[in-house]
Amino acid sequence: MKAPRHAYPYEAPPGSAAVAGVLPLACAVITHDEADNIGRCLASVAGLVCEIVVVDSGSTDATCEIAREYGARVIHRDWAGFAAQKQFAMDQCSQPWLLSLDADEALEPAARAAIETVFAGGGEPTHAGYEINRLTWYLGDWVRHTWYPEWRLRLVRRDRAAWREYNGHDLLTVHGETGRLSGHLLHYTYRDLEHHMQQSIGYARMSGRQLAESDRRIPVSKLVFSPLGRFIRLYLLKQGWRDGWRGLLLAFSSVMSAFLKYAFALEARQARNRAKNSPGDDS
């Protein structure tokens, strides 16, 4: 299955009553300069959810205008970190159930149908949350091995769910049993290789600094064994080689990210220790 980067079958016309769903379900999305993605994301939930909340941290492109065309309530909030921003977006929703999407994600029709099945009959869903398998579009093709399967908790009972930071990433958690849905969460990731490398370095720096601020030991051996473990897991165990040159590129970018995470952590820990041990200015 190949598709151009912006293709999606649910394109509702601008200005239409896109939020007309009958399910007790809200969709929350955080954005910053996502004009290339937000229309596809919100089109995939049009007519499924009855509330869309977009929390924007200061976009300078047409993100907010496009979101409003799909019936979203757009709220400005200065950037507070991924988990905090997503938690705020969830708290602004009024429906008992939440579908949390990233702006560069979209529901595949089969996943959309699976969500409808969860609520079929009007009864309460049997689980507190549901995972959807994410399929990534990367540099012109779908990645079916290196980053796949990738189950993500996205549909949750709102009063049982919370966002938290974990290992430098945002993590949606839910109190109660979870199930899995059929279909895919389509992930239209990095624009190009440069964007990928920039994002990888940024995440590695953030993860490294968080590690440095914790009480965990940071052995130098992690600079070797963590990247090696990443390569073995992605390229060999998950058969990333079957994704061709994309799989090799993704495996080595993960190696780089793992190395940089611990390099940044060691650098930040050294700087913190130096500041702690340096004598104060008595003048």
Q: What is the DSSP code string of 42-83?
A: HHTTTTT-SEEEEEES--SSSHHHHHHHTTPEEEE-----HH
Confidence (pLDDT) at 196:
94
Q: What sign for the dihedral angle of Cα 12, 17, 22, 27?
A: positive
With CA atoms as reference, report the closest residue to 101 among 168, 9, 188, 17.
Answer: 188
| Residue ranges in the chain modelled with pLDDT below 50 | 1-10, 13-17, 283
Maximal CA-CA distance, the chain: 75
pLDDT value, residue 180? 98
**Per the structure block, which two tokens stand in for 66?**
């496009």
Q: In the chain, which ranges are continuous DSSP H helix?
A: 38-43, 63-69, 82-91, 109-118, 193-213, 222-231, 244-277
State yes or no: cis peptide before 149, omega within 30 of 0. yes
Q: What whole-number distance in Å separates Cα of residue 273 and Cα of residue 213?
A: 11
Residue 66 to residues 38, 96, 113, 180, Cα–Cα distance (Å):
7, 26, 25, 31
Q: What is the pTM of this model?
A: 0.85
Dist. CA 212–CA 197, nearest whole Å? 22
Question: What CATH number matches the domain at 25-188, 3.20.20.60, 3.20.20.100, 2.60.40.10, 3.90.550.10?
Answer: 3.90.550.10
* Gyration radius of the chain over CA positions: 21
Tell me the pLDDT tens digit for each residue of 42-83.
999 999 999 999 999 999 999 999 999 999 999 999 999 899
